[in-house]
């Protein structure tokens, strides 16, 4: 079974929240790193990312907005149900 991500990633993105999360397998399947989500690989990378995005609020807001737009365009319950209907049709 492939890693499908955590529902919180989608919920937070839908709320327009900037997300800085660990770089887990499967995350890139749903979100584009640096465009709709930011990931880190280790503690030093996390520290660098936090410092960078604290200093670049406009970029942080743009990524959060892009994530929200992406979720509303591709990951709503209606869209998920349509995928299921298509699978059983």
pLDDT in tens, 9-67: 999 999 999 999 999 888 888 999 999 999 999 999 999 999 999 999 999 999 999 99
Average pLDDT over residues 73-82: 88
74 in a structural domain: yes
Q: How far apart are CA 55 and CA 53, in angstroms?
A: 5
pTM of the entire predicted model = 0.85
35 in a structural domain: yes
Cα four-point dihedral sign 44, 47, 60, 11: positive
Tokens 């990633």 identify what position?
Answer: 9
1 in a structural domain: no
Residue 33 pLDDT? 93
Residues 6 or more apart from 53 whose CB is under 8 A from it? 18, 20, 38, 59, 60
Show the domain range for 74: 7-88
């Amino acid at each position: 079974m492939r890693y499908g991500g955590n529902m919180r990633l989608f919920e937070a993105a839908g709320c327009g929240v900037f997300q800085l999360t660990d770089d887990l397998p499967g995350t890139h399947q749903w979100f584009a790193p640096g465009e709709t989500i930011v990931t880190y690989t280790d503690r030093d990378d996390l520290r660098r990312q936090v410092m960078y995005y604290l200093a670049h609020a406009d970029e942080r807001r743009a990524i959060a907005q892009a994530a929200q737009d992406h979720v509303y365009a591709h990951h709503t319950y209606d869209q998920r149900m349509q995928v299921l209907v298509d699978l059983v049709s």
